[in-house]
Structure 1
């Protein structure tokens, strides 16, 4: 049996106002999410369900958490594979169906990760795609849901290192077939040596 990890949070409703839940429209959906030692997270319902659009909904946080989980596994597995990641972003999307009776469920979440990696002998598009596949297989949250978490990576550019250090004063190599002009040094007049006087045998 594997190791067990426990997680805890406190969710506190702050939207009772003066009337509480006397009617469906009488109360606010605002609430606070407290995690020990961290800033309070302001929560609310989805605006479609009378929530505050300026606060975080559980559906949004749920979708974001799947993206976070995949990203963290990808970074870990990339480092183990010798792939140096410089940038990572994901425009994750999720779809939820609400049934006529009011209940609902997510039907899918799609990740669109975009990464920038350093060039290297073992770095190819296939190698990056394989790290994504392994990250998906390892993600704790993707393994815990009953709907598909789809993976549609955006083309991952490989960042090639510069041909020479950017701090160097070396000029770029010449273009083949084109002579490179070499700047000429300014011409200087030859130094003049003072004449020591009339030479012997001179008529002067």
Structure 2
């Protein structure tokens, strides 16, 4: 099978928490960081509050969940449009579980709960099975080593 085109992504991550002091004490150093993307707005993040992070900032665990949820949505919308399914609304209430193991940990599952609304007269059965196709084509879901399930609901507008 021929190899597809490679896509490259870059960002610059800076630990801005260093301004508040070094890592002399695990309990008190700042976990805040800034991420700069070429030509895009910067983002500020921190660790999860369970790991002494700022609860007002996004953490890497949330961003992983966001990446999976948004990738699934974008894959689904692309496939739906290619098949002539007219999606009029889409939302997801995703959740993930991470287990701590010693000093580290890992996600052991993510569940996406997309709620899709289609134009009247759409093929609901095909729209439901399209979630499996979206999961198989999502670059992010294909890059993780834990199951990404989905509990989708599909309805028609009106």
TM over 0.5, shorter chain: yes
2:114 is aligned to: 113
Displacement of 1:156: 1.6
Indicate which of 27, 33, 36 corresponds to 1:34.
36
Q: Return the alpha-carbon distance in structure 1 between the equivalents of residues 115 and 129 of structure 2.
A: 14
Q: Which has the higher contact order (CA 8 A, sep 6+)?
A: 2
Q: 1:74 to 1:18 in 2, by over 3 A?
A: closer
1:79 is aligned to: 81
Displacement of 1:127: 1.0
Deviations 1:7-51 (A, max 9, x none): 001110011245311111231000101111111111100000000
Does residue 49 of the first structure (1) align with residue 51 of the second (2)? yes
* Structure with greater helix percent: 2
1:59 is aligned to: 61
Deviations 1:89-146 (A, max 9, x none): 00010000001x22100000000000111022xx232111121111111001111111
Q: Return the alpha-carbon distance in structure 1 between the equivalents of residues 28 and 34 of structure 2.
A: 19
SS at match of 1:15: helix
1:129 is aligned to: 128
Is there any run of 5+ residues in structure 2 with no aligned partner, and where?
none
SS at match of 2:91: strand
Instruction: Give yes or no for contact 1:17–1:27 (8 Å, CA) kept in 2.
Output: no
Runs of 4+ in 1 over 3 A off after TM superposition: none
Instruction: Give yes or no for contact 2:85–2:123 (8 Å, CA) kept in 1.
Output: no
Q: Return the alpha-carbon distance in structure 1 between the equivalents of residues 79 and 143 of structure 2.
A: 20
Q: CA RMSD in A?
A: 1.1
Indicate which of 89, 92, 97 corresponds to 1:90.
92
The alignment's TM-score, normalised by the length of structure 1, stands at 0.74
SS at match of 2:40: coil
Is there any run of 5+ residues in structure 1 with no aligned partner, and where?
161-204
SS at match of 1:157: strand
Number of aligned residues: 156
Q: Return the alpha-carbon distance in structure 1 between the equivalents of residues 30 and 74 of structure 2.
A: 35
